[in-house]
Chains A and B, each alone.
Chain A
Amino acid sequence: KQEVTQIPAALSVPEGENLVLNCSFTDSAIYNLQWFRQDPGKGLTSLLLIQSSQREQTSGRLNASLDKSSGRSTLYIAASQPGDSATYLCAVGDQAGTALIFGKGTTLSVSS
């Protein structure tokens, strides 16, 4: 049974710092991996989707990498801003490419 773990559970950094969020999964037979952002009391905003055949995806200050063989993904945020404060969720697409299996998230706080 696929399990997704995100470390750390919470992270506080000063504005301007570069940071890395980690995601690990137990079964490497995944279809894809998606990173989301969730603000308190709100829905999920999709940040990046990486297909199983890809190694990384970039969008603006965000870069996500995928290493299927080791069961890991990282989300790199460059030059963090207070507006980046949110919970970041990693989700793995199962083998059929249907259900997403979520980690519990990393709650990021960026102070000005």
Chain B
Amino acid sequence: NAGVMQNPRHLVRRRGQEARLRCSPMKGHSHVYWYRQLPEEGLKFMVYLQKENIIDESGMPKERFSAEFPKEGPSILRIQQVVRGDSAAYFCASSPPGPGYEQYFGPGTRLTVT
């Protein structure tokens, strides 16, 4: 059973470009979470999605960031018009349906904005 997959593993964007980060959950998991780890800071929750639904986006910046989890295909975290402060490691986690299950993390995408 493959774990949570994220791609790309490393992404370099110039200021003003768009970044698209993809996450494929573990087989049988229908819940996806995105977290961001800024340098010298802890991981911060961004958004929680189920298929075709955003359940909790309380951690998402109000502008430039969006997330989706379509019926088919991976979950996408999209950052428009990236700025240097967006440079971070972005982690995706997945869990089975229902609250309180163990979350399994992917290897992360390291975004560098130049």
Q: How far, in whole Å, are A32 and B106 apart by their CA atoms in the complex?
A: 20
| Nearest Cβ on chain B to A35's Cβ, whole angstroms | 11
Asked whether A98 and B48 contact (CB < 8 A) given A31-B100, A44-B91, the answer is: yes
Could you tell me if B56 and A99 are in contact, using CB atoms closer than 8 angstroms? yes
Asked whether A102 and B43 contact (CB < 8 A) given A43-B91, A97-B99, A97-B100, the answer is: yes
Could you tell me if A100 and B100 are in contact, using CB atoms closer than 8 angstroms? no
Could you tell me if B48 and A99 are in contact, using CB atoms closer than 8 angstroms? yes
| Nearest Cβ on chain A to B110's Cβ, whole angstroms | 8
| Nearest Cβ on chain B to A52's Cβ, whole angstroms | 8
Asked whether A98 and B99 contact (CB < 8 A) given A44-B91, A104-B42, A105-B42, the answer is: yes
Mark contacts of A79-103 with chain B using CB atoms, 8 A cut-off: 1 yes-contact digit, 0 otherwise.
Answer: 0000000000101010011111111
Which A residue sits closest to B6, measured CB to CB?
A43
Q: Does A70 contact B (CB under 8 A)?
A: no
Asked whether A99 and B45 contact (CB < 8 A) given A43-B91, A44-B91, A44-B105, the answer is: yes
Q: Which bucket holds chain B's interface residue count?
A: 20 to 34
For A105, list chain B residues within 8 Å (CB): 42
Q: How far, in whole Å, are A32 and B100 apart by their CA atoms in the complex?
A: 6
A-B contact count (CB 8 A): 63
Could you tell me if B41 and A43 are in contact, using CB atoms closer than 8 angstroms? no
Could you tell me if B33 and A99 are in contact, using CB atoms closer than 8 angstroms? yes
Q: How far, in whole Å, are A31 and B104 apart by their CA atoms in the complex?
A: 17
Q: How far, in whole Å, are A34 and B59 apart by their CA atoms in the complex?
A: 19
Which B residue sits closest to A45, measured CB to CB?
B105
Asked whether A43 and B44 contact (CB < 8 A) given A31-B100, A97-B100, A98-B99, the answer is: no
Mark contacts of A24-60 with chain B using CB atoms, 8 A cut-off: 1 yes-contact digit, 0 otherwise.
Answer: 0000000110101000011111100101000000000
A contacts, CB < 8 Å to B: 4, 31-32, 34, 36, 41-46, 49, 51, 89, 91, 93, 96-105
Given contacts A41-B110, A43-B91, list 7 more A-B pairs with CB under 8 A: A46-B104, A97-B99, A98-B55, A99-B59, A100-B93, A101-B45, A102-B42
B contacts, CB < 8 Å to A: 33, 35, 41-45, 48, 55-56, 58-59, 91, 93, 98-108, 110
